[in-house]
Amino acid sequence: MTTGLQLHGGQPSEPWPHQRGGRGALHVDTRTRRSVITARAAATFEPVGRSVATARSFVRDTLQGWGFADIIDDAVVLTSELVTNAVVHAGTAADVLCLRADDGVRIEVADRYPEREIPLQHSPVDMGSPDREGGRGLQLCAALAGHWGVEYTPTHKQVWFQLDLPERPVGTRTAGPSLPVDLLPLTDGRVRVAVLQIDRAGALSSWNEDADDLFGYAAEQVIGKPLTDLAAWPHTPGTSTGIADALQLSRWEGSYGIRGADGRVIPVYASHLRVRDKDGEPSTVCLLVRDDERAVLQTPLRVPAPDMTTISESGKASDPFEVFIGSPAPDDLDGLLQRTVERARDMLDGDAAFLLLATDDETELEVRASTGLPSARQRFARVPVEAGPGRYGSARMPAVHEDLTVVPGAVPLLGGTGMRSVVTVPLKVEGRLTGSLGVAAESPDRYSNEEALRLQFAADRIALAVESARLGELERLRRGSLSFLVEASDLLAGTLDRDQTLALMAQMTVPTLATWCAVYTIADQASDPYLSYVLHEDEERIDGLKALLSKIAPPDPVPTPGARVWHAPAQAAHQDALRTSRRSLDGRGEPHSVRSGVGAAHGTASAVGGETVVLPLVARNRVIGMLTLGKPADEHFRQEILELAEDMSRRAALALDNARLYSERTAISQSLQRSLLPPERPEVPGVEVEVIYRAAGEGNEVGGDFYDLFPIRDGVYGFAIGDVCGTGPEAAAVTGLARHALRLLAREGFGGPAVLERLNAAILDEGARSRFLTLLYGELWPQEDGSAVLKVVCAGHPLPLRLRQDGTVEPAAEPQPLLGVMDDLELYEQTVTLDPGDVLLCVTDGVTERREGSRMLGDDGLAELLKTSTGLTAGAVAARVMRAVERFASAAPSDDMAILAMRVPGLQKD
């Protein structure tokens, strides 16, 4: 759904759009009307069934915000029928436009159905049978609306209706009865009304002296800041309205908190009005008073609840549940509970009401709905029923407290709220405690046993419905929890990287389970917990949160399962915000830096000011870390969420430990493999040497192929390129044996055949672990005339290729038996002279056996490639061969590869 809202104030008048261009139009009322449009609200709804309910809510909220409660029901009925025609029957999106004028409201509903019969301008209108399932929209318009019409274009149909406002006495919107003086609301000294103005971007543009007195900020400290930096917004159960949404509404009333300069949240009651300035820019004017002075701003009225024995117009007794809760009853638990507390408050004419639900074992009660109280602070708070500090001793029986100041703590939920008298009754199903319902007032001695009986009667009627809705919610939560855990397990099992595992843990937790989280890891039993990862749903809060957690001691690594509360972050954030505010009030430091510091400190305090819990990460009977979950200021965790977090933490701990073990083993493997690679290549005078090496397999640095180039003695260098049967660590072990044996034997003065014969014996001595080996070994003798002499032995290896300056390519050695198969070998060496400009190319079979289907690069393909490399350096030749191998097939190479290219550039002339 997309919406738009615009107010018109002090602008040139705009008439009702009487008829828009189209091929035909049907108007029941043809009188010319011109009215000043003072506000408009528009929304588009997708062609799905749930859009009808969303459209009803949109129209209801819009008209309620405009103060047109008298015509809401008719407008909602007509809108519902017309939107149903569009999104259900026509199957297109529906555009809804609400226009406010001084004498009424016009609502237009348009769809985008491209094919329809266009009625003639003066043809009779057939509205269909009233018994049909659909098509009653025009009949309802004719019956309920003062004026209505239909407008057509080839691709557009619009139905509009206008509802006139009833006549009211001048100056009267709502009014309350005259009251005795002693019943009027109490105020603390002079009533201070803070007047704030919020610009289009949500930033404060005006701040009066009363706001300074109430909250402790001077105007220059807050002008230009977003209201969200100061507001502690309540997430009202059953709605998704946030502060940004509320600031866009034409009118809004309700409670929330403002963070004062001392870091504390001050509950306020606010009235918002959306206006336009002289330049046409929209802004919101906010009037705020202390929450206990809400009567100054709060719009009356509480309609007395009907008696439970109400008789309907048909003469039949009404259902007591429907009489109390209203019809239709909300189909979701949060909506049902919220309506319950509102009706209970109104029934007893109270100032606040609350409802708590019992945990499965009936040992604790959890706040699930409240009205007239700071709901964001109380929602999901838990109190023990019978034992422990802050117990709720009056939960199992009806109770009336005439003055809570006499028995402080009798109802823990009301501590510090200013409520004096309260009546509480239990919700029971088949004798089992399922919850508690209470109504409170600011004055003492408001309630007696009579009110307790009335409230108990209502509680008995709704208890079963509440329990049924609660069980349905639990079932949905369990199904959602199972899906969440399955997805979490799949994600955690999909990686063995430690850092990625930490990131996944945090991203799965925020914002699904918590507003922020921090992961502490413990390397070993002797190490302290280390803050490894921090995440907040608002990325701008991450740095401040990380800095705060870094300054406080980490939680103790207790292996006891379950979540335990950790107070240190909230306390540290509060102290930090208080110190920063004091510095700001003292005027120390640069004004800009002080203001930014205050905002950051208050933001961090709000981010971690709610409940914080720690869950141990236990794997293989050892605590390897802690998962810390937190809520923003004054919020609590639901028990079901904590149980789900505990299940997730067990899976995350095992995944994190697996990642740790894998990382350790990978590091050990890579360290060992790197030890098998030859050290830095020596510079050979008069000869260019280039090597390219690729080991097959993920994470492998050394495989079955190997190379080496090393000095034997002055003026003589040994080189080798070989291939052990197989790949991976087992083959790498043989390459290490071969490389070290070659260096040792060559430096002992043995010639090429003797070196390879002794290496063959060493490989055979490995027994079952031995693997056969192909090896090209040679000695390089650079000459003073610019040439180079090579003595080579090719034991079962692909023959080296020699490229001459004229482009001819020929093998530079003859094939001989491979190593690791026979005991007695008779090997011989061959002498090759490389003239200036000649290239010697040596490769392993991973190059020549590169395949694409039935094609193979082969020795001939390599020779043809080498013929085109005349005049290239050794590095360029090796790179060309490597590119040719990679491009020969689309699949990644599956075998180890080594390329050794040597070129004699010749003597430089003066």
Nearest CA-CA partner of 534 in 551, 525, 490, 523: 551
Contact between 401 and 407 (Cβ < 8 Å):
yes
User: Roughly what angle, to the nearest 10 degrees, separates helices 542-551 and 568-586?
Assistant: 110
How confident is the model at residue 717, as a pLDDT?
Answer: 94
Q: Average of pLDDT values for 720-743?
A: 80
How confident is the model at residue 114, as a pLDDT?
Answer: 53
E strand intervals along 442-536: 516-521, 530-536
Nearest CA-CA partner of 215 in 581, 731, 606: 581
| Token digits of residue 860 | 């001939």
Q: Is the pLDDT of residue 6 over 70?
A: no
How confident is the model at residue 558, as a pLDDT?
Answer: 81
How confident is the model at residue 811, as a pLDDT?
Answer: 93
| Cα separation, 318 vs 328, whole angstroms | 13
pLDDT band for position 878 (cuts 50, 70, 90): very high
Instruction: Give the C-alpha distances (Å, rounded to integers) separating 776 from 245, 705, 759, 843.
Output: 76, 12, 13, 9
What are the φ and ψ backbone dihedral angles of 863, each rounded to 5 degrees?
Answer: -65, -40
pLDDT band for position 107 (cuts 50, 70, 90): very high
Taking only the tens place, the pLDDT of each residue in 435-463 is 889 999 988 888 888 888 888 888 888 88
Q: Average of pLDDT values for 129-149?
A: 64
Q: Mean pLDDT in the chain?
A: 78
Pairing of strands 530-536, 516-521: antiparallel
Comparing 556 with 599, the larger pLDDT belongs to 556
| Cα separation, 635 vs 755, whole angstroms | 77
Taking only the tens place, the pLDDT of each residue in 41-58 is 888 888 877 788 788 878
Q: Average of pLDDT values for 237-253?
A: 67
Taking only the tens place, the pLDDT of each residue in 559-607 is 888 888 888 888 887 777 777 766 665 555 555 444 455 556 666 666 6
Q: Find tokens 């100041």 and name the residue.
A: 405
Q: Is the pLDDT of residue 16 over 60?
A: no
Taking only the tens place, the pLDDT of each residue in 671-729 is 666 666 677 788 899 899 999 988 765 555 556 688 899 999 988 999 999 888 866 66
> How many Å is the Cα radius of gyration of the chain?
41
Instruction: Kindly write down the DSSP assignment for every residue of 539-587, as one continuous string.
Output: GGGHHHHHHHHHHSPPPP----SS-EE--HHHHHHHHHHHHHHHHHHHT
Taking only the tens place, the pLDDT of each residue in 766-814 is 776 667 889 999 999 998 888 999 999 999 999 999 999 888 999 999 9
Contact between 128 and 111 (Cβ < 8 Å):
no
| Token digits of residue 619 | 């794997």
Helix (H, G, I), strand (E, B) or coil at 477: helix
Contact between 794 and 804 (Cβ < 8 Å):
no
Taking only the tens place, the pLDDT of each residue in 180-212 is 666 666 666 778 899 999 998 889 999 999 999
Q: Average of pLDDT values for 849-873?
A: 88
Stretch among 305-309, 510-514, 715-719 having the lowest mean pLDDT: 305-309
DSSP 445: S
How confident is the model at residue 118, as a pLDDT?
Answer: 41
SS3 letters across 258-285: EECCCCCEEEEEEEEEEEECCCCCEEEE
Q: Is the pLDDT of residue 612 over 70?
A: yes
Q: Is the pLDDT of residue 82 over 50?
A: yes
How confident is the model at residue 588, as a pLDDT?
Answer: 53
| Cα separation, 343 vs 320, whole angstroms | 13
Instruction: Give the C-alpha distances (Å, rounded to integers) separating 429 from 320, 338, 462, 669.
Output: 17, 20, 10, 63
Q: Is the pLDDT of residue 3 over 50?
A: no
How confident is the model at residue 330, as a pLDDT?
Answer: 63
pLDDT exceeding 90 applies to what percent of the chain? 16
Pairing of strands 352-358, 282-290: unpaired
How confident is the model at residue 326, as a pLDDT?
Answer: 57
How confident is the model at residue 890, as a pLDDT?
Answer: 81
Q: What burial class does residue 855 get, using C-beta atoms within 10 Å of its C-beta: 0-12 exposed, 13-18 middle, 19+ buried?
A: exposed
Taking only the tens place, the pLDDT of each residue in 515-540 is 889 999 988 777 888 898 988 888 88
Taking only the tens place, the pLDDT of each residue in 365-388 is 888 888 887 654 466 667 777 655
Q: Is the pLDDT of residue 324 over 70?
A: no
| Cα separation, 495 vs 658, whole angstroms | 10
Sheet holding 399-401, edge to edge: 382-384, 364-371, 352-358, 432-441, 421-429, 399-401
pLDDT band for position 340 (cuts 50, 70, 90): confident
Q: What burial class does residue 661 get, using C-beta atoms within 10 Å of its C-beta: 0-12 exposed, 13-18 middle, 19+ buried?
A: middle
Q: Average of pLDDT values for 102-117?
A: 75
How confident is the model at residue 738, as a pLDDT?
Answer: 85
How confident is the model at residue 598, as a pLDDT?
Answer: 56
Q: Which pairs from 113-116 meet CB under 8 Å and 24+ separation?
A: 113/86, 113/157, 114/154, 114/155, 116/152, 116/157
pTM (predicted TM-score): 0.43
